[in-house]
Amino acid sequence: MTETLNAEKLKEALQGLPLGRIYFFEETDSTNEQGLEIAARGAEELTLLVAERQTAGRGRLGRKWVTAPGASLAFSLILKPSKAEISHLSLFSLLGGLAVCRAIENYAQIATQVKWPNDVLLNGMKTAGILAESCWQGEQLAGVVMGIGINLLPGSAPPAGEVLYPATCLQDHTPVKVERLSFLRAVLAQLIVLRQQIMDENFIQEYTRRLAFVNQPVTLNSGQGDSWSGVVLGVQADGQLRLRLADGTEASFPIGELRLRPEG
Ligand code: BT5
């Protein structure tokens, strides 16, 4: 029996977290789309948008994100970075992935990995994806909309033919009974705590400890047909991925328009 979400249950489950306004949608196009609109109108810090169904859930580079009502979590959190945080904006992309990793580890006592920049893997399969989008008004950053989609319960991971990379759901990896609302609370609590550490050295170290494919060959593809192959060395302080290329040189790649694939 899947538990349905509603605004009251959400508010109750998230009580005590320092959130701004909470929006619940039975159905919407995309919580990120709605979040960008709300951010543009001037949102409260840590405004949360949660949807049971998304008709136009999106990933990076215009890709689609699939949400299974009753079994997934799809939400967006509006963060309003301070001046100091704005100089570390690229790390906001990594923040969501790391928060989901930590939440899974605490909730289910299992190991996680991040596929750069921010896909969360369980046993080599994708269980969560993050889409961080900035809302600019001229020179001013009105907010970062951190969209998170997580496959939690059976039936939430799309079948192999529908995804670019094997997908899984958390419940398939743990005997702990996964419950969507308590898991949502766990992720948000981690996000709020980790955000305070985003400018500490330890933040990128913690991320690197979970980095998938270290010392393994991967290919990075841009949306425009360029690709680079190399062995993963790690990530830099600003979140860029470091590869050793075939000619022996090292190169770093910014978070953004690149997609990583393991080779073989
Ligand atoms: C992501 O993009 O992984 C970011 C996904 C962010 C989704 C959240 S849900 C709440 C908020 N509102 C939104 O509209 N979006 C955010 P990317 O790395 O580009 O991966 C997209 C690819 O993942 C797709 O092309 C599919 O191959 C695959 N995919 C789609 N749905 C999936 C799922 N439920 N589980 C695993 N893989 C999936």
Q: Which protein residue's CA is at the shortest distance from atom 3 of ligand 1? A: 129
What is the C-alpha to C-alpha distance for residues 177 and 41, in angstroms, rounded to an integer?
39
pLDDT tens digits for range 15-66: 999 999 999 999 999 999 999 999 999 999 999 999 999 999 999 988 999 9
Residue 129 alpha carbon to ligand 1 centre in Å = 5
**Predicted local distance difference test score (pLDDT) of residue 256:** 81
pLDDT tens digits for range 87-123: 999 999 899 999 999 999 999 999 999 999 999 999 9
Residue 2 pLDDT > 70: no
Sheet order of strands, 113-115 included? 22-28, 47-54, 72-79, 140-151, 125-137, 119-122, 113-115
Q: Which domains does the chain have, with CATH numbers?
A: 7-209 (3.30.930.10), 217-262 (2.30.30.100)
Contacts of 124 (CB under 8 A, 6+ apart): 113, 166, 212
**Predicted local distance difference test score (pLDDT) of residue 34:** 98
pLDDT tens digits for range 217-241: 999 998 888 999 999 999 999 999 9
Residue position matching structure tokens 């308590």: 182
Contacts of 212 (CB under 8 A, 6+ apart): 113, 114, 115, 116, 121, 124, 262
pLDDT tens digits for range 154-172: 999 999 999 989 999 999 9
Is the pTM above the cut of 0.95?
yes
Cα radius of gyration (the chain): 18
**Predicted local distance difference test score (pLDDT) of residue 223:** 80
Q: Which residues line ligand 1 (CB under 6 A)?
A: 30-32, 54, 57-61, 63-66, 74-76, 119, 126, 129-131, 147-149, 151, 157-158, 163-164, 167
What is the C-alpha to C-alpha distance for residues 212 and 158, in angstroms, rounded to an integer?
21
Mutual angle of helices 180-195 and 89-108, in 10-degree steps: 140
Residue 247 alpha carbon to ligand 1 centre in Å = 34
pLDDT tens digits for range 66-89: 999 999 999 999 999 999 999 999
**Predicted local distance difference test score (pLDDT) of residue 97:** 97
Residue 29 alpha carbon to ligand 1 centre in Å = 14
